[in-house]
A and B are shown apart, each in its own frame.
Chain A
Amino acid sequence: MVKYALLAYSSGEASGEPGARDMHPGIAAVLDRPDVSGWLRLQPAESATTVRLEARRTLLTDGPFVDSKEFLGGLIVVEADNLDGALALAAELQELDLTVAIEVRPVLEQVHRGA
């Protein structure tokens, strides 16, 4: 089994206020399935603050790192046999909701050997 992150992008108009909006019952059902190992919904991009280092000083800017019409609305981690499995789940989610696109990426699995 391989872990994949499904990054769900929404467009401003389609989403309204995702924080306040109820989750589509079909999506909730998918997220309850055993092959979904975790998920997060994000507040709208306007609420984001970006931290970066410029001339060795921490600089804060209001807004998301990538300023575009579409924003990252949430992320779901799934386990699948292969890419096709993850793509099928992404397609299923997309049919249920108005996300503009879902980026599917394999998760880099690392054993954390920190202190």
Chain B
Amino acid sequence: MLEDVFRDHWGRVLATLVGFLGDIELAEDAAQEAFALAAERWPRDGQPANPTGWLITTARNRAIDRIRRERTLLAKTEQLERERRDLSQEPMDETAAFPDERLELIFTCCHPALALEAQVGLTLRTLGGLSTEEVARAFLVPFETMSKRLARAKHKIRDANIPFAVPPEHVLPERLDAVLAVVYLIFNEGWGGGRVDLAAEAIRLARSLVELMPDEAEAAGLLALMLLNDSRRTARFRGGELVLLDEQDRSLWDEAQIAEARQMLERSLALRGAGPYLVQAAIADLHTQEPRDWDQIAVLYRRLEALTGSPIVTVNRAVALAEIEGPAAALALLDDLPLDSYLYFHSTRADFLRRLGRDEEARAAYARARQLAETEPERRFLESRLNDLTPPAAGC
């Protein structure tokens, strides 16, 4: 499919154009023109030997023509003339080696001066190559809303001069964290719906990051984590019903994804990684093994707790502890966690209470979880758990 070919090239082509033109909107328009031209010519004349080079060169020439034509853009022409790469001296040769500036573009799009939702949308649009309609559909917002959000972000990048650069060493760790957070957010957004395959988009973005920053342990860790979670995607549902890990049909797990994830895990460990994505990936990997090493899982959750300070991690550690020391000890761990609006806090508590034979309390906890459920399968799953409990004594 030509469309797939385009998707593969989009981020790369756009990034180079942004580097050259210094403006995302201009670059986007130019890239779109070049891709439209390709759609017309490639099926007829065949794909050029260097498709990326062809697209970049074509887009660049179009952009320059247009800038020269539009007299109102005089100021921009002047700016262009001042560019470090002098146009008159550099022939428009599509076989030239173009710098890969996707990394610069990622850091621009995920700059913390932009609102998080704009970072996410912009990343999907510019690097993922999703259309504005697709991005809007993925986040269930009207096209106009998304279109305005993206335009506003692009204008801020231009007007405030948000740098198109890989951040310097001293801020790199926090900026990379921001990038990884955006990718992971895209992935998690993709788990519920299936409107647009955002999980696949996130994995694709993470693969690029690993390719572009091969020495970053957390990039590899994040990719491993997402691959492992995604490998069980088909097994998580049976006839539209949610299936828990223990009851999943393992033959439905994606072995290729698991293998790639293990490779990434090893790579991250070899880079002396110890960050939260790697730890989560290691936990996810332990969960795919049979019998499960609950002691090791609990140890890793404790490490994750220390890294993130998140009470949600404590809930997960409680699940591991329940397997080692029993539900009573695990239940005690959940006391006083500030998670009243968190579904899994209540469903986990409910499960412990059920195992302890405290059905009345379990029922209340399942009911609270059901209130918080956002998807139908979740709701039905909790419903069935409620029904499995002994019915309340009559007259109570």
Contact = CB atoms under 8 A, between A and B. Distances in A.
Nearest to A80: B161
A83 B160 contact: yes
Contacts of B161: 2, 81-83, 106
B113 interface: yes
Interface residues of B, number: 10
A87 interface: yes
A104 B159 CA distance: 12
A1 to B, nearest CB: 9
B167 A84 contact: yes
Contacts of B113: 83, 87
A2 to B, nearest CB: 5
Interface residues of A, number: 10
Contacts of A82: 161-163, 165
Interface in B126-183: 159-163, 165, 167, 171
Interface in B169-201: 171
Interface string A10-49: 0000000000000000000000000000000000000000
A81 B160 contact: no
A105 B161 CA distance: 10
A24 to B, nearest CB: 24
Interface in A87-115: 87, 104-106
Contacts, number: 24
Contacts of A4: 160
Given A83-B113, A87-B113, A106 B163 contact: no
Q: Which among A2, A104, A106 has the greatest number of chain B C-beta atoms within 10 A?
A: A106
Contacts of A105: 160
Contacts of A106: 159-161
Contacts of B162: 82-84
A109 to B, nearest CB: 11
B159 A81 contact: no
A87 B168 CA distance: 14
A2 B162 CA distance: 11
A105 B171 CA distance: 21
B183 to A, nearest CB: 21
B208 to A, nearest CB: 23
A2 B159 CA distance: 10
Contacts of A83: 111, 113, 160-163
A66 B167 CA distance: 36
Interface of A: 2, 4, 81-84, 87, 104-106
Interface of B: 111, 113, 159-163, 165, 167, 171
23 contacts: A2-B161, A4-B160, A81-B161, A81-B163, A82-B161, A82-B162, A82-B163, A82-B165, A83-B111, A83-B113, A83-B160, A83-B161, A83-B162, A83-B163, A84-B162, A84-B163, A84-B167, A84-B171, A87-B113, A105-B160, A106-B159, A106-B160, A106-B161
Given A105-B160, A106-B159, 20 more contacts: A2-B161, A4-B160, A81-B161, A81-B163, A82-B161, A82-B162, A82-B163, A82-B165, A83-B111, A83-B113, A83-B160, A83-B161, A83-B162, A83-B163, A84-B167, A84-B171, A87-B113, A104-B160, A106-B160, A106-B161
